[in-house]
C-alpha cells in the first residue's frame, strides 16, 4: 500500500502531539513543525524513531510565509504528494483589546489566516489525485467570551469562515476541508498561560462539561481522525464543536454544588 503522508502544524506537544500519535499508529508518515522549542522537538523525533514511526520535526513559523513554503517544499521533495493537512499551531498575545498593538494583530492573523491560506494553496497542489483531507483547529473563543482572547477569537472566527470557503472551492479537487472547535484543553501551554488560576479553571470546566471531565487532546484527535477519514466525505466546510457539550451550558443557571 502506498505510504500516506501528513503535515500537522505544532505537533510536538499538546493537542497536535495527540493527532500525530494517532496518525503514526495508522502508519502515516508525519511532518510536523514548531516555532522555537527545538529541545522538545528533537526529543519527540527521537521518541518517534524509537517506536519505528516516521516523524520529521522542522522549525518553521506558520506566521512566516517563507517558512510555510519550506514546510510544504520538504514534503514535495521527499514524497511528491500529501494526503492530510492539520492546521493546529496557534499563538497570540493574550491581552485585553485595549492593550492590543498592531503587531499583535498582524502576528496572530499571519499564523492563523495567512499561513492557513498559503498552506491550503499548497495542499491543492500536493493533494491532486489523493482525496486529500484538511482539518483546522479552531477554539471556543469564537463563540464564548474568554478574557484576553479578543484577537485570537477574531482570527479563529475568520479561520472558520475560510474553512467554509475552502471546503466549497477545493471540493471539486476531491479535497475535503473541515474544522474542529474544542472547548477547554488541559495542555501544558494552557497551564503556563493560566498560571495560578489553572487548577481552579480546570476544575470548573470538569464540573460544567456535560459529558464530564476535560480533555488533554485525545478526544479532539479522535474527531480529527474521523474528519481525515473517507467516512467524513459528506461533511464539507463545517466546524464541529467537540467540547463535551460545554457550549450548551449557562453556568449561572446551574444549581449550587
Ligand atoms: N489550549 C486550549 O485550551 C485550547 C482550547 C481550544 C482550542 N485550542 C486550539 O488548539 C490548538 C492546539 O492548542 P494546544 O494548547 O495543544 O497548543 P500548544 O500546547 O500551545 O502547542 C502549540 C504548538 O504549536 C507550536 N506553534 C505555536 N506557534 C507556532 C507558529 N507560529 N508556527 C509553528 N508552530 C507554532 C508550538 O511550538 P513551540 O513549542 O516551539 O512554541 C507548539 O509546539 C491551537 O490551535 C489552539 O488555539 C486550544
Q: What is the pLDDT along the chain (257 residues), one digit of tens a residue?
A: 899 999 999 999 999 999 999 999 999 999 999 999 999 999 999 999 999 999 999 999 999 999 999 999 999 999 999 999 999 999 999 999 999 999 999 999 999 999 999 999 999 999 999 999 999 999 999 999 999 999 999 999 999 999 999 999 999 999 999 999 999 999 998 999 899 999 999 999 999 999 999 999 999 999 999 999 999 999 999 999 999 999 999 876 655 55
pLDDT number for residue 1: 84
Ligand 1 atom nearest 184 alpha carbon: 3
Radius of gyration of the chain from its Cα atoms, rounded to whole angstroms: 18
State how far the Cα of 107 lies from the Cα of 128, in Å rounded to an integer.
Answer: 31
Burial of 181 (0-12, 13-18, 19+ CB in 10 A): buried
Please give the domain boundaries of the chain with CATH numbers for all domains. 5-182+217-240 (3.40.50.720)
Residue nearest to ligand 1 atom 8, measured at CA: 139
Ligand 1 atom nearest 217 alpha carbon: 16
Q: 89: CA distance to ligand 1 center in Å? A: 4
pLDDT number for residue 64: 98
pLDDT number for residue 68: 98
- Residue 125 backbone phi and psi in degrees, to 5: -75, -45
Q: How far is CA 239 from CA 116, 133, 165, in A?
A: 15, 14, 12
Do residues 14 and 217 lie in contact, with contact meaning Cβ atoms separated by under 8 Å? Answer: yes
Pocket residue to mutate for ligand 1, from 118, 185, 214, 241, most atoms within 8 A of Cβ: 185
All three cell numbers of 198? 489553572
CA angle 136, 44, 127 (to 5 degrees): 35
Do residues 90 and 152 lie in contact, with contact meaning Cβ atoms separated by under 8 Å? Answer: yes
Residue nearest to ligand 1 atom 3, measured at CA: 185
Q: 182: CA distance to ligand 1 center in Å? A: 13
Burial of 116 (0-12, 13-18, 19+ CB in 10 A): buried
Residues with CB under 6 A from ligand 1: 9-10, 12-16, 33-37, 61-63, 88-91, 111, 137, 139-140, 182, 184-185, 187-190, 217
Task: Give the residue from 126, 221, 135, 217 showing the smallest Cα distance to 176.
Answer: 135
Burial of 115 (0-12, 13-18, 19+ CB in 10 A): buried
pLDDT number for residue 250: 82
pLDDT number for residue 224: 99
Ligand 1 atom nearest 137 alpha carbon: 45
Q: 107: CA distance to ligand 1 center in Å? A: 14
Q: 250: CA distance to ligand 1 center in Å? A: 27
Residue with cell 471556543: 140
Chain-centroid distance, C-alpha 150: 19
Whether the model clears a pTM of 0.85, i.e. scores above it, the answer is yes
pLDDT number for residue 254: 56
Segments of 88-238 assigned E as strands: 133-137, 176-182
Q: How far is CA 214 from CA 176, 186, 207, 218, 246, in A?
A: 29, 7, 9, 10, 10
Amino acid at each position: 500500500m502506498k505510504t500516506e503522508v501528513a503535515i500537522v502544524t505544532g505537533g510536538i506537544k499538546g493537542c497536535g502531539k495527540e493527532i500525530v500519535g494517532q496518525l503514526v499508529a495508522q502508519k502515516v508518515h508525519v511532518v510536523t513543525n514548531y516555532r522555537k522549542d527545538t529541545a522538545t522537538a528533537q526529543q519527540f523525533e527521537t521518541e518517534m524513531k524509537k517506536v519505528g514511526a516516521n516523524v520529521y520535526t522542522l522549525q518553521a513559523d506558520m506566521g512566516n510565509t517563507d517558512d510555510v513554503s519550506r514546510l510544504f517544499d520538504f514534503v514535495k521533495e521527499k514524497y511528491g504528494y500529501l494526503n492530510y493537512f492539520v492546521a493546529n499551531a496557534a499563538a497570540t498575545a493574550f491581552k485585553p483589546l485595549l492593550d492590543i498593538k498592531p503587531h499583535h494583530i498582524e502576528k496572530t492573523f499571519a499564523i492563523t489566516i495567512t499561513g492557513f491560506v498559503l498552506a491550503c494553496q499548497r495542499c491543492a497542489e500536493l493533494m491532486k489525485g489523493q482525496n486529500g483531507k484538511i482539518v483546522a483547529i479552531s477554539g471556543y473563543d469564537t463563540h464564548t467570551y474568554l478574557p484576553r482572547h479578543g484577537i485570537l477569537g477574531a482570527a479563529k472566527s475568520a479561520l472558520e469562515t475560510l474553512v467554509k470557503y475552502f471546503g466549497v472551492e477545493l471540493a471539486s479537487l476531491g479535497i475535503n476541508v473541515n474544522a474542529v472547535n474544542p472547548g477547554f484543553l488541559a495542555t501544558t501551554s494552557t497551564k503556563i498561560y493560566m498560571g495560578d488560576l489553572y487548577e481552579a479553571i480546570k476544575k470548573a470546566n470538569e464540573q460544567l462539561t456535560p459529558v464530564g471531565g476535560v480533555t488533554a487532546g485525545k478526544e479532539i484527535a479522535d474527531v480529527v481522525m474521523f474528519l481525515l477519514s473517507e467516512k467524513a466525505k459528506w461533511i464539507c466546510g463545517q466546524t464541529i464543536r467537540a467540547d463535551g457539550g460545554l457550549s450548551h451550558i449557562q453556568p449561572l443557571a446551574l444549581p449550587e454544588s
